[in-house]
Amino acid sequence: MTARGRLPAGAFESLLLSLVSRRSERTGVESKVADAVDIGGLLGIRAKARCDLLGAPPYSEAEGQLTRRFLTSAHEAALETLSSWMADAGMSVRRDAAANLIGRYEGERPGAKALIIGSHIDSVRNGGRYDGPLGIMLGVDVVEALRATGRRLPFAIEVVAFGDEEGSRFPASMSCSRAIAGTLDAMALEMKDAEGVSVAQALTAFGGDPAGIASAARKPEDVLAFLEAHIEQGPVLEAEGLALGVVTAIAAQKRLMVRIIGTAGHAGTTPMNLRKDPGPAAAECMLALERICRAGTDGLVGTVGRMTALPGAFNVIPGAVEFSMDIRAETSATRDEAVITVSAEIHAIAAKRGLKAEIQLMQALAESPCDPSLMGLLEEALTDLSLSPRRLPSGAGHDAMVMADLCPVAMLFIRCEGGISHNPAEAVTEADCALAAQAMLHFIDKLERRERA
């Protein structure tokens, strides 16, 4: 392995050169960052380029798309290359028992409390390149900018790549940040993927240590705060012409699996009135979910993202249909009320058709407010850059909501094109990434001032 990980020799350097030559084309808001302390004009811009590089095999499980699920060879490849980038930025690099990759830039005093900057390296299936990795790569750029001026702080900075925010391989998510926050329960390690492999088995094969997972938990007294930069994944900032926003809180969510059970049969010989077909019942249930959430308040949303008819053949009436439900709202109370109403409707729909329904809760995350004092520092950072300090909530889930159990958290949102995310069309501009890195540096300045006071 070279210092540049798995990239062909010279590939990264030529990418940087092409970026440098494009700097002269940048105009307007970007020029604000040109004179600031940065890394040869590439602060934040290199972070975006690195996300782009990680958007294809070996960093994706499939050609022509980005799918990087937890504990796969694509995850491994991404961690190897990211390790070399962290080391190049002057960090000591390690992996913990839960397969988190952690780079540490020591403070003035060895062993000082850490400001953790991070996000997730995994993706949804056929996802975008920036959801998650951008927050990590921005952290690496920010550390490199500090190192470039030889600056040490009264706290350490740790950049963390969490492995499992999306839950795209196993039914639950955020096991890596839960391990760091010390809130991962043993059951999460027993969850199985579609091939029947458990988290514990996959983690062992990856070089992690399920039996020693408790060692990944950080002590609250060792952590100063957590900062996550992330694309907004919604349209608000773009609609208002704003590059960045300060997150106020992250919505509550529940993941449920529903199974409607009927009787498998021959598609040609069983008259319609004599069937016990869970297919149309599942369709009715999905319409009920849509109706209930449309009528809801407090940002209530419901999604069926996965459905399977079993055994799954043209000529077989399914014996069972399974589908996932993701239900979110600004408050746990609104979310739970919707879960209760939807569950009652599902049971009623199944009963009316002579079928059985089973509903299993896979994951529950309470709403998670960001820390008011850190939000204030982020707002001041945006104001320093002559940016309007827009506050907005997050409907998407983030590792920050889990880290909030460990320490105060702050989140910086970055505008993304059309608000599109969980889609290969996800896009951000270099200018916005450069501004985000600058905002993070200003936030660190303010945190330093606060810690020294």
Residues that bind ligand GLV (CB under 6 A): 166, 396-397
Q: Which does 293 bind (CB under 5 to 8 A by kind): ligand GLV, Mn ion, none?
A: none
Considering the complex, state which of residue 248 and residue 270 has its C-beta at the smaller distance from Mn ion: 248
Q: Please, what is the minimum distance in Å from the beta carbon of residue 243 to ligand GLV?
A: 21
Q: Please, what is the minimum distance in Å from the beta carbon of residue 166 to ligand GLV?
A: 6
Q: Which does 397 bind (CB under 5 to 8 A by kind): Mn ion, ligand GLV, none?
A: ligand GLV
Q: Please, what is the minimum distance in Å from the beta carbon of residue 245 to Mn ion?
A: 15
Considering the complex, state which of residue 263 and residue 303 has its C-beta at the smaller distance from ligand GLV: 303
Task: HSE, CB side, 13 Å, CA atoms: give it for residue 237.
Answer: 29
CA distance 225 to 227: 7
Q: Please, what is the minimum distance in Å from the beta carbon of residue 179 to Mn ion?
A: 18
Does residue 131 bind Mn ion (CB under 5 A)? yes
Q: Which does 400 bind (CB under 5 to 8 A by kind): Mn ion, ligand GLV, none?
A: none
Q: Which does 322 bind (CB under 5 to 8 A by kind): Mn ion, ligand GLV, none?
A: none
Number of residues that bind Mn ion (CB under 5 A): 2
b/e sequence 279-317, b meaning 16+ C-beta within 10 Å: bbbbebbbebbeebbeebebbbbbeeeeeebeeeeeeeb
71: region left, alpha or beta (phi > 0 left; psi from -120 to 50 alpha): left
Residue 176 in contact with residue 75, Cβ under 8 Å? no
Considering the complex, state which of residue 104 and residue 230 has its C-beta at the smaller distance from ligand GLV: 230
Q: Please, what is the minimum distance in Å from the beta carbon of residue 301 to ligand GLV?
A: 10
Q: Which does 132 bind (CB under 5 to 8 A by kind): Mn ion, ligand GLV, none?
A: Mn ion
Considering the complex, state which of residue 135 and residue 397 has its C-beta at the smaller distance from ligand GLV: 397
DSSP string covering 91-133: -EEEE-TT--EEEEE--SSTT--EEEEEEE----TTB-SSTTH
Considering the complex, state which of residue 339 and residue 396 has its C-beta at the smaller distance from ligand GLV: 396
CA distance 229 to 412: 5
- Only segment of 126-134, 196-204, 240-248, 410-418 that touches Mn ion (CB under 5 A): 126-134
Distance of CA 429 to the CA centre of its chain: 19
Residue 284 in contact with residue 260, Cβ under 8 Å? no
Q: Please, what is the minimum distance in Å from the beta carbon of residue 386 to ligand GLV?
A: 31
- Only segment of 127-135, 170-178, 290-298, 332-340 that touches Mn ion (CB under 5 A): 127-135
DSSP state of 304: -
| Residue 93 to residues 79, 81, 102, 103, 104, Cα–Cα distance (Å) | 11, 12, 6, 4, 6
Using Cβ positions, the residue closest to ligand GLV within the complex turns out to be: 397
Out of 44, 132, 208, 296, the residue judged to bind Mn ion by CB under 5 A: 132
Q: Please, what is the minimum distance in Å from the beta carbon of residue 323 to ligand GLV?
A: 16
CA distance 262 to 277: 5
How would you write 58-76 as a 3-class SS string? CCCCCCCCECCCCCCHHHH
- Only segment of 125-133, 221-229, 352-360, 427-435 that touches Mn ion (CB under 5 A): 125-133
Residue 123 in contact with residue 166, Cβ under 8 Å? yes
CB atoms within 10 A of CB 109: 12
Q: Please, what is the minimum distance in Å from the beta carbon of residue 398 to ligand GLV?
A: 7
Residue 76 in contact with residue 61, Cβ under 8 Å? no
Binding site for Mn ion (CB under 5 A): 131-132
